[in-house]
Chains A and B, each alone.
Chain A
Amino acid sequence: MNPPSLNWRGMAAIYRFEIHRFARTIWTSLMTPVITTSLYFIVFGSAIGSRMTDIGGIPYAAFIVPGLIMLSMFQESIFNASFGIYMPKWTGTIYEILSAPLSSLEIVLAYVGAAASKSIMVGMVIFATAHLFVDVDVAHPLAMVGFMALIAISFCLFGFILGVWAQSFEQLQVIPLLVIMPMTFLGGAFYSIHMLPEPWRTITLFNPIIYLISGFRWTFFGKGDVSIGISLIFIAAMLALCIGAVAWIFRTGYRLKK
């Protein structure tokens, strides 16, 4: 039973600690997505894109912008959130978090909130970088920001779970590298699923990332591979799954308490 009042100062302390941790490497963490995005634009946007026909009336270079933002945000979210909780586990400083008057909800809100803030910032920086290369108008700006926030929170929750689960740096990296990366690349960041022949098109529909990228693309161009409603259902499902897993972790003390 939690006492009614939240430990705001405690959450703020963790949030500030995490933001401070990001700030120590601010240049590398912002330059990396800027450089990668620029490279993607040079290769896919200019070199290849000029030979590509418009996709559903959208120039190819503009078409890939939402996918590129999502790609980086997936990685950033998982990386930052998993590291945020893995590091104190690894160095042992987690003793202080676990012995503080903080509820599990407060701990998750602070860590995930900080990681999600950084992801959203990175997403915005990529969006700004994209403008250097292409003109993109956003059809639904509010929905775009809301979508970014939802994606950041869902993937940060997933990262948090990964960080709790991992017992070595290798394990920490294996899921993003072997599962998330391929899924995003095959998730329609660089193409529309309508461009795929059968049976790949049907197979692709089993990749949940498709629905997330399609939904984000909808906020830009007012249309996606699937309807926005289905995308929202997928995000909601992912959020619910992650929240359920986090709740289970704290109820059982899985890999946090002995």
Chain B
Amino acid sequence: MNPIISISGVGKTYASGHVALGAVDLDIREGEIFALLGPNGAGKTTLISVICGLVTPSSGTISVAGHDIIRDYKAARSTIGLVPQELHTDAFEKVIDTVQFSRGLFGKPRDDAFIEKILRDLTLWDKRNSKIMELSGGMKRRVMIAKALAHEPRILFLDEPTAGVDVELRKDMWRLVRRLRETGVTIILTTHYIEEAEEMADRVGVINKGQLLLVDDKDVLMHKLGTKTMTIHLDEAVTAIPEALQHWNLNLVRDGRDIEYTYDATAQQSEVPALISALQLSGVSYADISTRQSTLEDIFVGLVHAGDVSEAEVQA
């Protein structure tokens, strides 16, 4: 199947001389939820802006639904809905008017029933006659989503959809994204919340300093890079790793009450049974054993550290 978006060699150097994107190659598959994950300043917004026609690329080519975004920009843009990172709204406009406006802007004939459906889906119907400035921040964000969906796009860009959004709205947003995907809409979201990429995405791309570090199925990515941690909860605390277990790569935690073993979850030959035998032979008595798959966060922090970004930035 042809990718719905094909990005090849796309770079962007701003007028200031700042290189926001190196040379990015990326294919987005039709119907997937793709999460672009990276710290602030990684180039996520720049990449989206280039695809949507807001920023002129310095190099490379992009095609959307088979249309070159420069040569055939009208056809390309008709397929795209964009929810930008910042809340940009016309304060004095009514909700329903601004959504109708967006539909018209994209050349679609008026369709009151469809607009009503969107507003209902986003729980904006009761507010349809309110001026945008009377709405809360969360409601404004819903309005921006309604605007992006008003022309029935095949592709939806959500730039940091849940940044600064309360938990309830975030959950709503996730539900909405899943529902949209069921109708065949391809969704590309950017986030610096690992939790979000992990929760939502089919595939994840990790970007840092304008370089796409890796792209993979979320599950494969977690599997490929994931490590597991096995924790052995001891009956009695110890002060040191027992002699017989010294050659295993173990850590003593929780004041000696737990022993932790970190291992590659995808290794062909698991060392776990061997370790358990060794434990029994050494006479260490334990109450329980638990294992934990590393989260995308662990993977991400590892990758970004390799790319030499401070931890503070990652958590920002």
Binding site for B on A (CB under 8 A): 1-3, 7-10, 12-14, 16-17, 20-21, 24, 91-93, 95-103, 253, 257-258
B78 and A101 form a contact (CB under 8 A): yes
A22 to chain B, nearest CB (A): 12
A9 and B109 form a contact (CB under 8 A): yes
A2 and B74 form a contact (CB under 8 A): yes
Q: List 23 A-B contacts (CB under 8 A).
A: A1-B71, A3-B72, A9-B107, A10-B107, A13-B104, A14-B105, A24-B92, A92-B84, A92-B88, A93-B89, A95-B82, A95-B84, A96-B147, A99-B52, A99-B80, A100-B106, A103-B74, A253-B56, A257-B56, A258-B14, A258-B54, A258-B55, A258-B56
B19 touches A (CB below 8 Å): no
B27 touches A (CB below 8 Å): no
Interface centre among B56, B93, B97, B104 (most CB of A within 10 A): B104
Additional pairs, 11, CB under 8 Å, beyond known A93-B89, A99-B77: A1-B72, A10-B104, A13-B101, A91-B89, A91-B91, A100-B77, A101-B74, A101-B78, A257-B54, A258-B54, A258-B55
By DSSP majority rule, is chain B's interface helix, strand, loop, or mixed? loop
CA distance A102 to B97 in the complex (A): 20
B105 and A10 form a contact (CB under 8 A): yes
CA distance A10 to B110 in the complex (A): 11
A99 closest partner in B (C-beta): B52
Q: A96 contacts which chain B residues (CB < 8 A)?
A: 82, 88, 102, 105, 147
CA distance A258 to B18 in the complex (A): 12
Q: B84 contacts which chain A residues (CB < 8 A)?
A: 92, 95
A97 and B105 form a contact (CB under 8 A): yes
A93 and B90 form a contact (CB under 8 A): yes
B86 touches A (CB below 8 Å): yes
A96 to chain B, nearest CB (A): 6
Q: Which listed residue (A8, A92, A257) contacts B86, Cβ 8 A?
A: A92
Q: A24 contacts which chain B residues (CB < 8 A)?
A: 92
Q: B74 contacts which chain A residues (CB < 8 A)?
A: 2-3, 7, 101-103
CA distance A10 to B105 in the complex (A): 4
CA distance A98 to B303 in the complex (A): 35
Q: Which listed residue (A1, A20, A99, A101) contacts B54, Cβ 8 A?
A: A99
CA distance A253 to B293 in the complex (A): 49
CA distance A24 to B106 in the complex (A): 25
CA distance A10 to B91 in the complex (A): 21
A101 and B88 form a contact (CB under 8 A): no
B162 to chain A, nearest CB (A): 19
Q: B55 contacts which chain A residues (CB < 8 A)?
A: 257-258
B53 touches A (CB below 8 Å): yes
CA distance A10 to B101 in the complex (A): 8
B114 to chain A, nearest CB (A): 15
B108 touches A (CB below 8 Å): yes
CA distance A3 to B67 in the complex (A): 12
A7 and B107 form a contact (CB under 8 A): yes
B164 to chain A, nearest CB (A): 16
CA distance A93 to B87 in the complex (A): 9
B18 to chain A, nearest CB (A): 11
